[in-house]
Chain A
Amino acid sequence: MNALAARRRHPAAIAVLLLLGLLVTGGAYSFFAPKDANAAPTVSADAVQDGKNLFLANCASCHGVNAEGTKSGPTLVGVGAASVDFQVSTGRMPLAGPNVQAPVNKVKFDETEIAALAAYVASLGAGPGIPEEKWTTVIQPGTPENNKAIATGGEIFRVNCAMCHNFAGAGGALTRGKYAPALDEATPRQIYEAMVTGPQSMPVFNDRNISPEGKQQVISYLAAQRDQTNVGGFSLGNLGPVSEGLFAWVFGLGILIAGAVWLGKKAA
């Protein structure tokens, strides 16, 4: 103690103290901070190498040979495996040409190739990983607690998602030709990945916004809604009153006028 006390006015003391403080704060932060950036999953070095080859052949022209990004495409360092899996498995990437938004397209790679690409990009920097199977498993309705989970998913969906994706997940328009796509084709894994990576105009819903359980409930709600029989009949695209009004004018009035003409032609 004495030795420390004697050196407390040493010119280096302040620097040492500062260093110590920074180390403690940083260490504590890394210890307490939520783990939203999964480290690259353990994959074989071969897969990473395959992924790199695929990347150089298919992606590097826009994203740069080291995925550092160019004028035509953003950097992929740190986007994580989830992002690659989402973009490539929905056919959004590789992009056919520059556009306001990458549309869903024919998938160009098989599963192994997508996994290799994801592994390569994940090896460049930590980012959201491909979600665990247990969070992308759809909760089946039946038991009260499952039904409750689905209903909770519905509430989360209406508060966070419906304003762009529409109440039935039928999609909606955004500014300047951008749009929120329909969700009926998306797989549970893709929906989860979209939530954690926030592709294109979509905001990121990380695990602090919506917990993995919440995401699973949203996915289950969408599945349950999709599986519901259309009790009311044909849904007219689930687009709300616009398609209903159009239908009333074209078919409702059309059929009734045809009836009136027919009746007018009838001999008295």
Chain B
Amino acid sequence: MTTINESRPAQGLRADDRRDEQVHESTKPLGGIAGWVDDRVGAAKGVSFLLKKVFPDHWSFMLGEIAMYSMIVCLLTGAFLTFWFVPSQTLVPYDGSYIPLQGVMVSDAYRSTLDISFDIRGGLLIRQIHHWGALIFIVAVFAHMARVFFTGAFRKPREINWVFGTILSMLACIEGFAGYSLPDDLLSGTGIRAMNGFVQSIPVVGSYVSYFIFGGAFPGEAIVPRLYSVHILLIPAILIGLFTAHILLVFVHKHTQYPGPGRTNTNVVGYPLMPVYIAKAGGFFFMVFGVITLISALFTINPIWAYGPYDPSPVTAGSQPDWYMGFADGALRLLPGWFEFVSWGDFTWSMNIFPGSILLLPIMWGVIGAYPFVESWVTGDKREHHLLDRPRNAPTRTAIGVAGITMYCVLFFAAGNDLIAIKLHLSINDITMALRTLFFIGPPIAFWITKRICLSLQRADREKVLHGRETGTIWRYPDGRFEEIHAPLTPNERWPLVQHEVPEPLQIIAEKDENGVDSPIARKERLRAKLSHFYFVDRVAPVTPAELEAAHHAHDEPHAALPAGEHEALESTGAGAERESIKADKRLD
């Protein structure tokens, strides 16, 4: 028996009711399983939109991909490691197969990490993939960040994504720190000991915060389980969430592209995700995974068995954090001891530790995160930018970036001052003094040099546009002179060299109105004009069509048949005419 009454008289009237739906269903582009899924999920439209997304091709756009893939590698290998790792500081005797530690009382965390390394099949390889993957993840994050910075990809509308990226890079470092602290070996324990000292150096509340973090006095038995939760749960969740938002915003904004013929602020020239980038990106994932695995199979990382178990009394020479925490360790090594002072009776201010360890992190990432907003305020540029800058065309920004990297590198190398001393047979005291000096004078020098290089590269671009490319062919003239032949640029070659704009410094607006009343924003505007002057006072304007025309004209006048941009005789027009005729004759041979 059926629930539908076949013989209802009004049935005929409704015969057409479902026709639209039926027609729609029959014309659906998807059949088979895809259609079945789409009927239930409705994702076809969105997926086809995503798959048609066009991406431009350039190797530097793949730095972020390296970061993404190595993060996935870490997630996969990390899941494996959680099967065996025991986040506990309970003391147990070690009875695994590493002879030099047999019978020693170690924490369960250390024992289980040794077991992963020696007694679980494939464990050491996975552990090394996880650790090398983490190092390369953060390396790639920083390289990606540098690429975005130097090409100006953080400009409107991508400021929020830049901030997301800044937070991601900081979280990646903290995630790494939490991770390498887990095995409870001598080196990582020393790191936690140092962290305890950093926390205690916070004025007023330091010791309370330390007790809070460690669940009592250092080392206690709480820190490894707590860091474990942070490392496998809390930070990965935030990382993945923010990372998804980061990627979604890339889709929303569309990818930036380098300037070139046919590439404008309103288009993206490249290939669609499906099938080109699906294949390329998929292949690149396996390439990244493969390279990390190869490195992990060949090179030891973090040999915790050699470090031995953690015990608060010993420490090893050459105790350094993983590279991404190196800058903070270096800052600590550079800070002079006499920064610590006592006031108000017996209240200690550990300014020899606090600025380098606790303050430095928020300051550094705060400055990085704020940069796009500062630059757009200074330049007054509120337009959208989808075309990237060539770094030389934004000399001040590039110079600021290099100065910042220089400062970072000074701190970074200071973390290895002892190894530099022993490997180069130098005095560690001298190295420390030199790096202290370099911390202050290095960035200005780097700024100046970089800016000069950028400006001269821009001038070289101008020369190239006006007078053509040097061919390396030297001509000798009957009178004995030599001259190099310059070949003209094609319009496609010329475009990237002339497309950019070079802003002029903002002018100070009238400080007083016609009645002599101070403008309420005058002070702010004065600062802005000063900064704008700093940014744009040295400018090399790109060649304009008129200039190009003039240069060609000067070349072409004596012999119209000569191709444009053949030589560089713009400034010596008198002698140029004669020379030109000789050259033209040669060409005819």
Task: List residues of A whose CB falls within 8 A of some B CB.
Answer: 100, 141, 144, 147-148, 150-151, 154-155, 158-159, 162-168, 170-177, 179-180, 221, 224-225, 228, 230-236, 238-242, 244-249, 251-253, 255-257, 259-261, 263-264, 266, 268
Q: Are A241 and B322 in contact (CB under 8 A)?
A: yes
Say if the beta carbon of B588 comes within 8 Å of chain A.
no
Q: Are B124 and A231 in contact (CB under 8 A)?
A: yes
Q: Are B132 and A252 in contact (CB under 8 A)?
A: yes
Name 26 A/B residue pairs within 8 A (Cβ), A-sorted. Answer: A154-B100, A155-B308, A158-B311, A162-B317, A166-B318, A167-B306, A167-B307, A170-B318, A171-B422, A172-B317, A173-B317, A173-B421, A176-B429, A177-B428, A235-B300, A236-B299, A236-B300, A240-B318, A241-B326, A244-B135, A246-B323, A252-B132, A252-B139, A256-B288, A266-B280, A268-B271
When distances are taken between beta carbons in the complex, the residues of chain B under 8 Å from A166 are: 316-318
The verdict on A263 contacting B283 (CB below 8 Å), with A154-B308, A172-B317, A252-B136 known, is: yes
When distances are taken between beta carbons in the complex, the residues of chain A under 8 Å from B60 are: 260
> Which of A100, A173, A255 has the most B CB atoms < 10 Å from its CB?
A173
Which among B11-19, B101-109, B488-496, B556-564 touches the partner chain? B101-109
Q: Are A147 and B99 in contact (CB under 8 A)?
A: yes
The verdict on A167 contacting B316 (CB below 8 Å), with A151-B103, A154-B104, A263-B287 known, is: yes
Q: Are B291 and A256 in contact (CB under 8 A)?
A: yes
Say if the beta carbon of B63 comes within 8 Å of chain A.
yes
Task: Pick the 9 closest A-B CB pairs, nearest first.
Answer: A172-B317, A245-B323, A232-B300, A177-B427, A173-B418, A260-B62, A248-B135, A167-B316, A173-B421
When distances are taken between beta carbons in the complex, the residues of chain A under 8 Å from B427 are: 100, 175-177
The verdict on A233 contacting B300 (CB below 8 Å), with A252-B295, A261-B59 known, is: yes
Q: Are A173 and B422 in contact (CB under 8 A)?
A: yes
The verdict on A245 contacting B300 (CB below 8 Å), with A172-B318, A225-B100, A261-B59 known, is: no
B254-297 interface bits toward A, Cβ cutoff 8 Å, 1 = contact, 0 = none: 00000000000000000100001000100110011001100111
Q: Are B422 and A179 in contact (CB under 8 A)?
A: yes
Q: Are A238 and B99 in contact (CB under 8 A)?
A: no
The verdict on A147 contacting B135 (CB below 8 Å), with A177-B427, A240-B319 known, is: no
Q: Are B302 and A244 in contact (CB under 8 A)?
A: yes
A256 to B68 Cα, complex, angstroms: 13
Q: Are B99 and A263 in contact (CB under 8 A)?
A: no
Q: Are B418 and A225 in contact (CB under 8 A)?
A: no
The verdict on A158 contacting B316 (CB below 8 Å), with A167-B306, A236-B299, A256-B136 known, is: yes
B386-427 residues at the A interface, CB under 8 angstroms = 415-419, 421-422, 425-427
When distances are taken between beta carbons in the complex, the residues of chain A under 8 Å from B311 are: 158-159
Say if the beta carbon of B342 comes within 8 Å of chain A.
no
Give B173 Cβ to nearest chain A Cβ, in Å: 12
Q: Are A224 and B300 in contact (CB under 8 A)?
A: no
Q: Are A256 and B100 in contact (CB under 8 A)?
A: no
Q: Are A268 and B276 in contact (CB under 8 A)?
A: yes
Give A63 Cβ to nearest chain B Cβ, in Å: 25
Q: Are A233 and B299 in contact (CB under 8 A)?
A: yes
Give B420 Cβ to nearest chain A Cβ, in Å: 8
The residue in chain A whose Cβ has the minimal distance to the Cβ of B270 is: A268
The residue in chain B whose Cβ has the minimal distance to the Cβ of A253 is: B139
Give B436 Cβ to nearest chain A Cβ, in Å: 16
A231 to B99 Cα, complex, angstroms: 13
When distances are taken between beta carbons in the complex, the residues of chain A under 8 Å from B205 are: none
CB contact between B57 and one of A228, A245, A252, A264 (< 8 Å): that residue: A264
A180 to B421 Cα, complex, angstroms: 11
**How many inter-chain contacts with C-beta < 8 Å in the A-B complex?**
213
Say if the beta carbon of B186 comes within 8 Å of chain A.
yes
Q: Are B316 and A163 in contact (CB under 8 A)?
A: yes
Q: Are B298 and A233 in contact (CB under 8 A)?
A: yes
B71-109 interface bits toward A, Cβ cutoff 8 Å, 1 = contact, 0 = none: 000000000000000000000000000011111100000
The residue in chain B whose Cβ has the minimal distance to the Cβ of A171 is: B422
A253 to B280 Cα, complex, angstroms: 18
Say if the beta carbon of B449 comes within 8 Å of chain A.
no
When distances are taken between beta carbons in the complex, the residues of chain A under 8 Å from B139 are: 248-249, 252-253
Say if the beta carbon of B321 comes within 8 Å of chain A.
yes
Q: Are B318 and A230 in contact (CB under 8 A)?
A: no
When distances are taken between beta carbons in the complex, the residues of chain B under 8 Å from A158 are: 186, 308, 311, 314, 316
When distances are taken between beta carbons in the complex, the residues of chain A under 8 Å from B419 are: 173, 239, 242
The residue in chain B whose Cβ has the minimal distance to the Cβ of A247 is: B299
When distances are taken between beta carbons in the complex, the residues of chain A under 8 Å from B429 are: 175-176
Say if the beta carbon of B364 comes within 8 Å of chain A.
no
A249 to B138 Cα, complex, angstroms: 10
Q: Are A167 and B99 in contact (CB under 8 A)?
A: no
A239 to B318 Cα, complex, angstroms: 7
The residue in chain B whose Cβ has the minimal distance to the Cβ of A182 is: B422
CB contact between A224 and one of B65, B100, B295 (< 8 Å): that residue: B100
The residue in chain B whose Cβ has the minimal distance to the Cβ of A176 is: B427
> Which of A155, A236, A251 has the most B CB atoms < 10 Å from its CB?
A155
Give B118 Cβ to nearest chain A Cβ, in Å: 7
Known: A233-B296, A245-B326. 18 other contacts (CB 8 A): A147-B102, A151-B100, A151-B101, A154-B308, A158-B316, A176-B429, A177-B427, A225-B100, A231-B118, A234-B298, A234-B299, A236-B300, A238-B303, A241-B302, A247-B295, A253-B143, A260-B65, A268-B271
When distances are taken between beta carbons in the complex, the residues of chain B under 8 Å from A251 are: 295
When distances are taken between beta carbons in the complex, the residues of chain A under 8 Å from B299 are: 232-234, 236, 247
B124-157 residues at the A interface, CB under 8 angstroms = 124, 128, 132, 135-136, 139-140, 143
B326-351 interface bits toward A, Cβ cutoff 8 Å, 1 = contact, 0 = none: 10000000000000000000000000
Say if the beta carbon of B301 comes within 8 Å of chain A.
yes
> Which of A165, A166, A171 has the most B CB atoms < 10 Å from its CB?
A166
Q: Are A245 and B100 in contact (CB under 8 A)?
A: no
When distances are taken between beta carbons in the complex, the residues of chain A under 8 Å from B430 are: 177
The residue in chain A whose Cβ has the minimal distance to the Cβ of B281 is: A263
Say if the beta carbon of B40 comes within 8 Å of chain A.
no
A249 to B415 Cα, complex, angstroms: 16
A149 to B65 Cα, complex, angstroms: 50
A168 to B306 Cα, complex, angstroms: 6
Q: Are A252 and B124 in contact (CB under 8 A)?
A: no
Q: Are A252 and B100 in contact (CB under 8 A)?
A: no
A240 to B422 Cα, complex, angstroms: 14
The residue in chain B whose Cβ has the minimal distance to the Cβ of A166 is: B317
B475-486 interface bits toward A, Cβ cutoff 8 Å, 1 = contact, 0 = none: 000000000000
When distances are taken between beta carbons in the complex, the residues of chain A under 8 Å from B318 are: 166-167, 170, 172, 239-240, 242
CB contact between A244 and one of B288, B298, B301 (< 8 Å): that residue: B301
Give B405 Cβ to nearest chain A Cβ, in Å: 13
When distances are taken between beta carbons in the complex, the residues of chain B under 8 Å from A238 are: 303, 306
The residue in chain B whose Cβ has the minimal distance to the Cβ of A146 is: B99
When distances are taken between beta carbons in the complex, the residues of chain A under 8 Å from B508 are: none
